[in-house]
A and B are shown apart, each in its own frame.
Chain A
Amino acid sequence: MPSSIVFDDELVALLPRLRRFAYALSRTPADADDLTQATVERALRSRGQWQPGTRLDSWLYRIMRNLWIDTVRARGRKDKVEAPAAEADRLGEDPREAMDASVDLARMMAAMQRLPDEQREVVALILVEGFGYRETAEMLGVPIGTVSSRLVRGRTALLDLVGV
């Protein structure tokens, strides 16, 4: 089967997962959908760089992650300091009231935002997306021990925030 078929079919099939990853990284659903859109556009422009036979999902996640890092950096420090204060109130609510799934999504997105970027991406890739430690280390280009220690800190902080 020509690799272009594989590419197009898999890209479409991967959209729900990519979008989920974007939600785990982003502050708002609108930001998440913008990020997904930008990822798809970048992937189509760079499709010649994807090696047929290698995993398309990891390649796409890497593109999304890099685009996200770019936005985070571009947004700068100002925004970053102000955002948590606004979200602190919401996080104080009792999570057990969150019967509605979309409410819980908003709450979990807010909690993820409280994590440092490097912990958030690891939590998103492993606990939300279900990648293994090694795959995650390869995608992020860091040693597996770094992934493991960021994951410990990230999930511990997240548990404190949402209080399961």
Chain B
Amino acid sequence: MVSDETFFAWLDGELGPGEAAGVAAEVEADPELAAKAERHRALQARLTQAFGVVADARVPEQLSAAAQPAEAEVIDFAAAKGSRATRWRAVPQWAALAATLAVGVFVGTMVPQRRDAPVAVEGGQLYAASALDRALDAQLASAPSGPVRIGLTFRDRSGAICRTFTEPAQSGLACRSGDRWQLRGLFAAPDGQGGNYRMAAGMDPGLAALVDTTMAGEPFDGAREKAARDTGWR
């Protein structure tokens, strides 16, 4: 006589082929077991149908809105020079869009083109400019100076050198493109942390995830970082 556990494991397709064939033969030979299998198949079907209504229904607005991460916000770098960053409501999957042309165009419409703005838009792409560009070019993680701090330096899968940076109100990732630093992502500092620098260990989770998928191999150590700078980030 097959145990309940084995019977249901068979019904649920959890048994290996050999064992399943044994149970199937036993069920076929025993009308009572066969009827039990039928009843439980019907129960399974009813559960699937009843709760399937929920899965097939349109997700309530409030819930889909909650799933669009509020912390994924596009930052106005220039405005961030004031006491607090001006924020725009999230473009959903901002980090996702960061590597695309679309976001460059989108952000490009919002970033004021001031002479000292740390972000420049060209051909629909975002590039580091002024103080940010200079920091990415010259600054070593071990020797912070000025408003921008450098975090990790590493190569992406295409071999380009990338660097993470932190400013008081946001952090981001920029990668070498020709002789410029192209921005791959910008992340707002959480509320209330705008005035503090966050170290690598406290990296924004969105930035950390972006770094994780961008980086090929290990981050540079101090010597490699310096050597890369001295050879023009090739």
> What residues of chain A have their CB less than 8 Å away from a CB belonging to chain B?
1-5, 7-9, 11-12, 15-17, 19-20, 23-24, 32-33, 36-37, 40-41, 44, 47-48, 52, 101-102, 104-105, 107-108, 123, 126-128, 132-133, 145, 148-149, 151-152, 155-156, 158-159, 162, 164
Flag the segment in B64-72, B108-116, B120-128, B222-230 that touches A.
Answer: B64-72
Can you report 21 residue pairs joining A to B where beta carbons are below 8 Å apart?
A: A2-B99, A2-B210, A3-B213, A4-B72, A4-B206, A5-B96, A8-B69, A8-B93, A15-B59, A16-B56, A19-B54, A19-B63, A23-B54, A33-B60, A33-B62, A40-B67, A47-B69, A108-B50, A132-B14, A133-B9, A159-B39
Query: Count the A-B residue pairs with Cβ separation under 8 angstroms: how many?
Result: 141
Question: B50 and A2: CB pair below 8 A?
Answer: no
Please name all residues of chain B whose beta carbon is closer than 8 Å to the beta carbon of A102 when the two chains form the complex: 53
Complex CA distance for A105 and B54, rounded to whole angstroms: 9
Task: Decide: A2 near B9, CB < 8 A? Known: A40-B63, A40-B66, A128-B47.
Answer: no
Give Cα distance in the complex from A18 to B42, angstroms.
Answer: 24
Whether B95 lies near A4 (C-beta < 8 A) is yes
- Contact of A17 with B55 in the complex, beta carbons under 8 Å: yes
Contact between chains at B95 and A5 (CB < 8 Å): yes
- A52 CB, min distance to chain B CBs, angstroms: 6
Query: Is B66 a contact of A2 with CB atoms below 8 Å?
Result: no
CB pair A33–B205 under 8 Å, yes or no, is: no
Contact call B209/A8, Cβ cutoff below 8 A: no
- Check B214–A148 contact: CB distance below 8 A: no
Interface of A (DSSP majority class) = helix
Task: Tell me the complex Cα distance, A126–B180, Å.
Answer: 53
Given contact pairs A19-B59, A23-B54, A155-B40, enumerate 12 new A-B contacts (beta carbons under 8 Å): A2-B95, A8-B67, A8-B95, A16-B54, A20-B54, A20-B55, A47-B69, A105-B51, A123-B47, A132-B14, A133-B14, A159-B40
**Residues B123-156 near A (CB distance < 8 A):** none
Say if the beta carbon of B219 comes within 8 Å of chain A. Answer: no
Interface residues on B, range: 35 or more
Task: Name the one of B43, B93, B205, B213 contacting A164, with C-beta atoms under 8 angstroms.
Answer: B43
User: Using an 8 Å CB-CB cutoff, how does the interface string of B57-101 with A read, 1 for contact, 0 for none?
Assistant: 101101110111111100000000000000000001101101100
| CB <8 Å contact, A12 and B64 | yes
Identify A127's interface contact among B5, B47, B213, CB under 8 A. B47
Complex: A145 Cα to B14 Cα, angstroms: 12
Q: Knowing A155-B43, A159-B39 are in contact, say whether A8-B63 is a contact too (CB < 8 A).
A: no
CB distance from B198 to the nearest CB of A (A): 13
